[in-house]
Structure 1
Amino acid sequence: MKDTVIILGSSRSDGDTAKAVFKMQDITGCDYIDLNDYDISYYDYEHENKIDDFLPLMKRVIQDYQNIIVATPVYWYTMSGILKVFFDRVSDLLTIEKDLGRQLRGKGFGVISCCINSGVDKEFWHPFEKTSGYLGMPYLGNVHINSLENDALFTGFIKEIEAKE
């Protein structure tokens, strides 16, 4: 899965979600990107923030990877704030960088979530599935982690991704 990148969207670069990402990275050899390492500001209708790190990051992700997996802790029944800002900025790829945005079509998209509960409501996955469909990105699936002891979850998720490649 060298053509896969995991985008970590957590407030803690060393928290449970990050540990899950590192475990998947160890198993698959995929790359990861920590959104905390980038200056990405909120969506701006005037696009005055187009000089931050979002567009260069997306150019690299789109150029270098066939599969994009986002990883998020579950905060108040939804994705983390930092990942939501990242998702909001995808709008830039539909307005000021349309050619770049079109290159997302056909790339695989998946999700890793993590929290102390054994699962999340099916509605949690809705924004990811809908965004994937809207962007023309085949949905590779999702996995929820509540214990780093359970390698079987990763193995099943990885097999799902590989079957869809």
Structure 2
Amino acid sequence: MKKETIIILASSRSNGDTSKVVNQLQQVVDCDVVDLNDYEISYYDYGHANKDDDFLPLMKRIISDYQNIIFATPVYWYTMSGILKVFFDRISDLLTIEKDLGRQLRGKGFGALSCCMNGSVDEEFWHPFKKTAGYLGMNYIGNIHVDSLENIDVLKDFGNKITTL
């Protein structure tokens, strides 16, 4: 059976706290996970010299196979992880050299999950996620911050939002 949702795990540690939270979310939502550490994705390049790395094949698969995309990131220096920022920057390829592919994002669900075991995030943290979803014509499902592995019941409400789309 085809799953509706994919989580893009964007942490420097594949087995860190963010991964543990993603595993807990999988208990609520039947979804697949992609770990960006398993891919070679270069920084955005205006000349598109990196168009043969793993970004475009990964996006083609994600766009064709899933209706909802959830981005999971730890909080590094008050913002998303560097690996996720590179991924977001590469979405520019879907607005230039792969416009037809980029247009297929319209109407898909977009959500965000952050993890930081020693604090919270300000509302401004979600700004790049909300703006990116809006710019791409995606439906912003919402966001959630998890600050404790003992208090992950908050994932149930977020998971229910995803499954009721």
* Smaller-chain TM-score bracket: over 0.9
> Could you tell me whether the CA contact under 8 Å between 2:29 and 2:162 is conserved in 1?
no
Q: Contact 2:5–2:67 (CA<8 Å) still a contact in 1?
A: yes
Aligned Cα root-mean-square deviation (Å): 1.2
Task: Provide TM-score, normalisation by structure 1.
Answer: 0.96
Matched, 1:19 2:20: yes
The corresponding residue for 2:149 is: 148
Q: Deviations over 1:27-77 (max 9, x none)?
A: 322100000000000000000000000000000000000000000000000
Per the alignment, residue 116 of structure 1 pairs with 117
Partner SS for 1:32: strand
Could you tell me which residue of structure 2 aligns to residue 133 of structure 1? 134
Q: Conserved in 1, the CA contact under 8 Å of 2:4 and 2:65?
A: yes
Bigger RCO (CA 8 Å, 6+ sep)? 2
Are 1:160 and 2:164 an aligned pair?
A: no
Identity %: 70
Gaps of 5+ in 1: none
Corresponding letter in the other structure for 1:68: I
The alpha carbon displacement at 1:119 in A equals 1.8
Residue of structure 2 equivalent to 1:99 = 100
C-alpha separation between the residues in 2 aligned to 1:27 and 1:159? 8
In structure 1, distance between residues paired with 2:150 and 2:3: 24
Q: Which amino acid aligns with 2:95?
A: L
CA–CA distance in 1 between the matches of 2:153 and 2:22? 15
d(CA) in 2 for partners of 1:91, 1:63: 18
Q: Deviations for 1:85-134, whole angstroms, at most 9, x for unmatched residues? A: 00000000000000000000000000000002342000000000000000
Q: Which residue of 2 aligns with 1:63?
A: 64
Query: Take 2:3 and 2:118, find their aligned partners in 1: how far apart are those partners?
Result: 30
CA distance in 1, matches of 2:128, 2:157: 22
Q: Note if 1:51 corresponds to 2:66.
A: no
